């Protein structure tokens, strides 16, 4: 991520020096965008299948019916918060894409079409078209099928389930390695996009991205000091004590920019916060993969940022559709550094926005990834704590007292 920031700074310098001649660097950015498009679908599909299998059917049935509605609700609220804040700060006003960017704006689906298309009539068509809502739906269904095979009483089914899961898990690791490779090239792509934009627009880009960063930090701060406390108070959680207990995980997530990398610390803090082991070990690994509240807020900010750059205006129905798309994209975004760029590509494509704008924000990714991951991990722990509160008194609940 530090390399991307360096690429961003270098792109600004080259753009100011070369001016309009910086067009010669544009192909570097185009290649970066193509790489992002290439990895989106396999990353989302495989990560979700693996995440679903971090449990067993019995626990997933009872606890899952509690935690997944929280994930969807909290993520949706985060998208809405990001949209409202960006509407207030106007981060993209005064900025436009270079005239040579060859922007292709996809057709925007209607709200009803978005809901209906979540269940595809042709799985392979949905995969080839990059229909993220359909991909999320199919991936969860396939993941659940694998999970039930792995826990079947039939030896043959159990063996087949384990075999398929090992293949999916291995494929997920392969895709993660590819993503890491793309992120190694990313600094050059950032140089190309940034230099090309600055060369045509000067310091307007720097001002706009500063607003993007400020809006992002304000949003996550509001999540932590307003949205999450309200949710916890409803279920009788002592908010200040909870935050004291989980502060180590919050700090680690901010430094590492990785929900999955912070997971061992998150589990340790969950125990300190009095969250039962069964609840923590089921919800937190899944949450580190699918519960991306901070990332969802990023999508809300980014959509308005992109709309202002392109001059598009969204109706209330369009914004409602974007909330659904942003929620599903956040659910499908892996909890590793840099994966937020993939999620933004998904949202922009589905919302009818050019993904060229994704590369404009890649240079500041290290700055915003930290705070968005803080929002993600804190949301995971808040969800686990709320579910744990509802599990008290259940025979299978761990008798863990707050310390």
Whether 397 is in a domain gets the answer no
CA distance 85 to 221: 12
- CATH number for the domain spanning 11: value is 1.10.3860.10
CA distance 395 to 23: 66
Whether 396 is in a domain gets the answer no
First to last CA, the chain: 37
Whether 8 is in a domain gets the answer yes
Whether 239 is in a domain gets the answer yes
Whether 111 is in a domain gets the answer yes
| Mean pLDDT across the chain | 79
Place 100 in a pLDDT band, splitting at 50, 70 and 90.
very low
Quote the number of domains for the chain: 1
H/E stretch holding 129: helix 123-129
Q: Is the pLDDT of residue 328 over 90?
A: no
Summarize pLDDT for 271-288 with one digit per residue, the tens: 899 998 778 877 887 777
Residue pair 373/251 in contact by the 8 Å Cβ criterion: no
Place 210 in a pLDDT band, splitting at 50, 70 and 90.
confident
Domain extent, residue 383, equals 1-391
Whether 399 is in a domain gets the answer no
333: left (phi > 0), else alpha (psi -120 to 50), else beta? beta
Whether 402 is in a domain gets the answer no
| pLDDT above 90 coverage of the chain, percent | 22
Place of tokens 């340790």: 268
Q: Is the pLDDT of residue 386 over 90?
A: yes
Least confident of 230-239, 255-264, 278-287: 255-264
| pLDDT above 70 coverage of the chain, percent | 78
> pTM above 0.95?
no
Whether 401 is in a domain gets the answer no
Summarize pLDDT for 144-186 with one digit per residue, the tens: 899 889 988 899 999 999 999 999 999 988 987 887 787 788 7
């Amino acid at each position: 991520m530090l390399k991307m920031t360096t690429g961003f700074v270098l792109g600004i310098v080259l753009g100011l020096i070369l001016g309009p001649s910086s067009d010669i660097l544009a192909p570097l950015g185009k290649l970066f965008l193509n790489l992002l498009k290439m990895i989106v679908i396999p990353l989302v599909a495989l990560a979700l299948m693996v995440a679903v299998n971090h449990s067993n059917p019995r626990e997933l049935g009872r606890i899952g019916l509690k935690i997944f509605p929280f994930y969807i609700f909290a993520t949706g609220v985060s998208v809405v918060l990001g949209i409202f804040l960006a509407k207030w700060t106007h981060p993209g006003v005064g900025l436009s894409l270079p005239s040579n960017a060859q922007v292709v704006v996809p057709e925007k689906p209607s709200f009803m079409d978005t809901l209906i298309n979540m269940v595809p009539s042709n799985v392979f068509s949905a995969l080839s078209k990059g229909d993220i809502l359909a991909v999320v739906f199919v991936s969860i269904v396939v993941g659940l099928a694998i999970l039930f095979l792995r826990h079947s009483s039939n030896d043959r089914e159990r063996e087949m389930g384990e075999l398929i899961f090992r293949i999916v898990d291995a494929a997920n690791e392969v895709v993660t390695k590819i993503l890491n490779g793309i992120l190694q090239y990313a600094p050059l792509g950032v140089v190309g996009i940034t230099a090309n934009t600055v060369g045509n627009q000067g310091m307007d880009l720097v001002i706009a991205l500063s607003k993007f960063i400020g809006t992002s930090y304000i949003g996550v701060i509001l999540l932590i000091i307003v949205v999450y406390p309200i949710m916890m108070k409803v279920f009788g959680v002592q908010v200040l004590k909870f935050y004291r207990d989980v502060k180590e995980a919050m700090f680690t997530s901010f430094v590492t920019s990785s929900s999955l990398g912070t997971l061992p610390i998150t589990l340790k803090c969950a125990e300190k916060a009095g969250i039962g082991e069964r609840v923590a070990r089921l919800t937190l690994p899944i949450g580190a993969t699918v519960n991306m509240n901070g990332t969802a807020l990023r999508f809300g900010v980014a959509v308005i940022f992109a709309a202002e750059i392109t001059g598009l205006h969204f109706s209330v129905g369009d914004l409602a559709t974007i909330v659904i798309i942003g929620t599903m994209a956040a659910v499908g975004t892996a909890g590793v550094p840099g994966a937020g760029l993939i999620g933004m590509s998904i949202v922009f494509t589905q919302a009818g926005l050019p993904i060229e704008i994704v590369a404009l924000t890649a240079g500041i990714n290290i700055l915003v990834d930290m705070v968005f991951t803080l929002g993600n991990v804190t949301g995971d722990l808040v969800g686990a704590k709320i579910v744990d509160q509802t599990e008290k008194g259940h025979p299978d609940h761990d008798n863990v007292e707050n310390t």
